[in-house]
Amino acid sequence: MVAPLYIAYHSNDDPMEYWQQGLEMLLPDIRLVAPDAPEAQKAEVIITWDPPEGTIAGLPSLKGVISLAQGVDHILKDPAFPRHLKFARLIDPYMSEAMAEWVLLSILEKHRDSEIYREASTRKEWIRLRPRVAADTCVAVMGLGAIGSHVAEKVAMMGFRTIGWARSSKSIPGVTAHTGDEGFSTCLEEADFVVSILPLTEETRDLFNAQTFAKMKNGAFFINSGRGLQVVEDDLIKAIDKGHLSGATLDVTRIEPLPKESPLWEHPHICIWPHVSAQTNADTAAHQVADAILAIRSGKDPENVVNVDRGY
């Protein structure tokens, strides 16, 4: 009988059985175990979302970590994270596609005045607004990585004038990409829709605040599916309440789940989604998790390595 392949697993989102089933078709001997199980002491790999502080450092046989998400802030926020370990994240085209659907939905809801028509229909009112032309409407996608570049391309394919922002220069069909502080300002100043799909790092924490909202166009609409800590929520509410921004759709918030007492819930021009714009899916991602486990165990670099110094 072959000895089980013990892999530590922690996620408060997906039950362990979900990934056990997804992975055992590819690695029949795999046994996912909780980090506090005795077998976890032998685990060379942990696959995880948002592990409690010290979880990873507490596993003595670890060679590597696999993030059960495309973002890695939920792991790097742990001050005890052992930086020498191999560290892979997911890059799943399914998630890019799901995010593109959600961003387009959020843009089109506003672009085609759906809130106004829904409200009018509750009063049985027949009102007709003239829609804006997509080509005259500018969308800025902040973050042009694995997800953002795909989203920007799809937005451009819908006919919107599409610009974007990244650290390094990009060539994406239909998209004018900007970099640096100047590029950031250009995006804010030109866009009717500002969409953040940035990772959470020291540089992007609180990036959207009173000063940066003030730089946005009068009437601009803000969409965030990056991370909640990138947005100073009180400043967002103030920018909308004084009529400078026309509203926001947020898939991520500073505290998740969003507390019931948060003013974001009841704001008439803010739409809250519960961090579902692009969810990790074992059907589409198990293959790369399995490959990363095998690579780490044999001492090789997995695909989609995280740059720990850069924070994404």
Q: Which residues bind ligand NDP (CB under 6 A)?
A: 70-71, 95, 143-148, 165-168, 197-201, 203-204, 225-227, 251-252, 275, 277-278, 312
Marked catalytic residue, from 89, 269, 275, 297? 275
- Beta strand pairing call for 220-224 and 138-142: unpaired
Q: Quick one: DSSP state of residue 129?
A: P
Q: Do residues 99 and 150 touch, judged by C-beta distance below 8 A?
A: yes
Annotated catalytic residue 123: no
Shortest approach of ligand NDP to residue 110 CB, angstroms?
18
Annotated catalytic residue 275: yes
Q: Quick one: DSSP state of residue 187?
A: H
Cβ-based nearer residue to ligand NDP, 197 or 286: 197
Cβ-based nearer residue to ligand NDP, 7 or 147: 147
For the chain, the residue count is 312
Shortest approach of ligand NDP to residue 156 CB, angstroms?
16
Residue nearest to ligand NDP (CB): 145
Cβ-based nearer residue to ligand NDP, 5 or 285: 285
Marked catalytic residue, from 89, 150, 178, 227? 227
Shortest approach of ligand NDP to residue 226 CB, angstroms?
5
Shortest approach of ligand NDP to residue 87 CB, angstroms?
13
Contacting residues for 33 by C-beta, under 8 A, at least 6 apart: 6, 7, 8, 9, 39, 40, 43
- Residue 54, phi-psi category: left (phi > 0), alpha (psi -120 to 50), beta (remainder): left
- C-alpha span between 180 and 184 (Å, rounded): 6
> Which residue's entry shows tokens 């990585």?
145
Cβ-based nearer residue to ligand NDP, 44 or 92: 92
Active site residues: 227, 275
